[in-house]
Copies of this chain bind each other. A is one copy, B any other.
């Protein structure tokens, strides 16, 4: 029987949201720090990154317990990046998903440290996971650093900052989003495949799938900032235009951006067809990314 993506999203979101606080609760650390870490972890969101890890294990018919710790780790990394991005010296945001941002509740210094704490802890989840092999855990950590560090998300954030209020070329815009967004989404897919002991040829194909899915994700984000419904997205639309940000629609026109989105989704689906397994869940994931309204 083929699982419907929506059932998968709902059930796995529950698993992740149950597992994450347990890692924080058992830490021997000052209460305020743990509260600040929990606050942002609990702030919700689609949990797309951890669910993707589990989706890969499901696709390769492996027990999902091989991926729970890594799934929580990638959500911790995503959460730390949001806390640091929201800081007054960065994007200076007061609200995140309709709730006050971390530094608004706990102060700036604690928000810096809560982010540092989540980033550091995420590596512990992976290396202390009792289920995967040692070799696979080392490989997953190595992939995580590439996706989240200077060669990935942190580098993308720097490029994004440096590109603010500049007219970027499509190539520059692509660099920012590939690094700032696509690589961490890609990590979820690659780490899930590694933990599922997928064939090496599949893993390399999945890197391409992840790239197209990640860029499609960002193009959809840019489109929603213009055409989206504020109540559904949970943040004001039109902020990119106000901030004079270069976006896919601003370079390609809205029509061009939608075509590019469809191109990336088509590429992603073609790659899935060439895998050694049937990947119905990952095909549905393409449609979700292309059509999401938040």
- Tally of contact residues, A, Cβ under 8 A: 50
- Using Cβ atoms and an 8 Å threshold, which residues of chain B touch A128? 142
Q: Does the CB pair B113–A151 fall under 8 Å? A: no
Q: Give the most central of A27, A84, A120, A145: most B CB within 10 Å.
A: A120
SS class of chain A's interface: helix, strand, loop or mixed? helix
Distance in angstroms from A22 CB to nearest chain B CB is 14
List A171-200 residues whose CB lies under 8 Å from chain B.
none
Distance in angstroms from A29 CB to nearest chain B CB is 4
Q: A84–B151 Cα gap in the complex (Å)?
A: 20
Q: Does the CB pair B124–A112 fall under 8 Å? A: no
Q: Any chain B CB within 8 A of the CB of A33?
A: yes
Q: Any chain B CB within 8 A of the CB of A108?
A: yes
Q: A150 is contacted by which of B33, B88, B151 (Cβ under 8 Å)? A: B33
Residue of B nearest to A108 (CB): B89
Given A87-B89, A110-B158, output 19 extra A-B contacts at Cβ < 8 Å.
A29-B151, A29-B158, A30-B158, A30-B159, A34-B150, A89-B109, A109-B161, A112-B112, A120-B145, A120-B148, A123-B123, A123-B141, A123-B145, A124-B149, A127-B142, A134-B134, A134-B135, A138-B138, A141-B141
User: What are 16 A-B pairs at a CB distance below 8 A?
Assistant: A30-B162, A32-B158, A33-B150, A84-B112, A89-B107, A90-B109, A113-B158, A113-B161, A116-B116, A116-B119, A120-B145, A123-B123, A124-B141, A128-B142, A134-B135, A141-B141
